[in-house]
């Protein structure tokens, strides 16, 4: 796919889905400790962090994984967010699926989703996530709606990656359920192997543009520290991740809202190595190569 044509298509789609629909709190920011730790920056996130943010980052996965994300909002016992997801890289694309529950216990939202992501070239990737969302309100009717999420990412240079994310509910139910269309765009700039900067612009249908900024720093290979700021939302955040034996990652995040208070969360990711078999086949193939015989002494 031509990079220029991809940008034109996504900009057109973005202008379409940004038409006004009612606000919905659940989609105000990306979730998961990586995005939440950077005040919601996630449009250019890759790897397992993309499970809970821009799915266009999933084609960078090299190992199958399962992930669990649990967040408590504003220290309220009845306001929680729970997500379970799994991803499987194949030779054609990355396939992922998950379930999430968000909101108060008396009227939660539940979502079941499936995602397909593929690298369209050495520099670009696309992904589509289709979800079935159910909203329940105590004493009111239960609403259900299909939603779509379209993700795009491109590697501009060795240190810069850009991403675009579009969320859109479809069907007549969107005006009644309070769902909103959403457009996000962002970039990630790697200053070094240890330090990277991220920034997102977020366009909810119900308010002006929101700017989010984030920083990620790895002082040692197994530890990553993140911090974020969204000034016009009054949000500051931070998280710390620990990688154990290259396949198990646990992260803790704290988000502080100047008016609503503090939220906290934890993300657990377990990867399943699939490279040993490939390395084994490679070593066996080398053993099949005939070696030259030593020269005979005259």
Q: What is the pLDDT of residue 279?
A: 35
Q: What is the pLDDT of residue 173?
A: 47
DSSP assignment string, 150-178 = EEEEEE-SSSEEEEEEEEEEESTTHHHHT
Q: Which two tokens stand for residue 188?
A: 């990630």
Q: Do β-strands 64-72 and 248-257 pair in parallel, antiparallel, or remain unpaired? A: unpaired
Per domain, the residue ranges of the chain are 3-285
Q: Which two tokens stand for residue 140?
A: 């009111």
Q: What is the largest CA-CA distance in the chain?
A: 99
Overall fold of domain 3-285: Porin (2.40.160)
pLDDT means over runs of 10, the chain (298 residues): 44 34 42 89 90 92 94 85 94 94 74 94 95 72 82 95 88 53 91 95 76 95 95 92 93 92 94 57 35 48
Burial class (CB in 10 A: 0-12, 13-18, 19+), 1: exposed
Collapse the DSSP code of 245 into the 3-class scheme (helix H, G, I; strand E, B; otherwise coil) and give the result: coil
- Report the distance separating Cα 167 and Cα 205, nearest Å: 11
Outline where 92-221 has alpha helix (H).
174-177
Q: What is the pLDDT of residue 167?
A: 87
Strand partners, 203: 183
């Amino acid at each position: 796919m031509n990079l220029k044509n991809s940008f034109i298509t996504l900009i057109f789609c973005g202008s379409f889905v940004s038409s006004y629909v009612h606000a919905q709190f659940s989609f105000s920011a990306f979730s998961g400790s990586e995005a939440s730790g950077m005040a919601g920056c996630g449009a250019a996130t890759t790897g397992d962090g993309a499970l809970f943010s821009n799915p266009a980052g999933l084609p960078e996965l090299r190992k199958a994984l399962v992930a669990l994300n649990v967040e408590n909002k504003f220290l309220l016992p009845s306001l929680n967010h729970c997500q379970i997801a799994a991803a499987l890289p194949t030779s054609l694309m990355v396939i992922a699926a998950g379930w999430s529950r968000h909101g108060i216990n008396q009227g939660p939202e539940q979502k079941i989703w499936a995602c397909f992501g593929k690298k369209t070239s050495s520099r670009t990737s696309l992904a589509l996530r289709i979800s079935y969302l159910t909203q329940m309100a105590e004493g009111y009717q239960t609403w259900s709606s299909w939603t779509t999420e379209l993700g795009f990412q491109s590697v501009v240079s060795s240190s810069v990656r850009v991403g675009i994310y579009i969320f859109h509910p479809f069907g007549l139910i969107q005006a009644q359920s309070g769902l909103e269309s959403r457009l996000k765009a962002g970039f990630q700039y790697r200053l070094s192997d240890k330090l990277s900067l991220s920034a997102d612009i977020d366009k909810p249908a119900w308010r002006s543009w929101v700017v989010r900024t984030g920083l990620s720093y790895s002082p040692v290979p197994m530890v990553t520290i993140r911090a974020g700021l969204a000034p016009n939302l009054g949000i500051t955040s931070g998280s710390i991740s620990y990688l154990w034996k290259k396949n198990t990652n646990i992260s803790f995040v704290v988000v502080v809202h100047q008016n609503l208070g503090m939220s906290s969360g934890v993300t657990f990711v377990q990867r399943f190595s699939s490279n040993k078999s490939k390395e084994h086949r490679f070593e066996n193939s080398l053993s099949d190569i005939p070696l030259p015989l030593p020269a005979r002494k005259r």
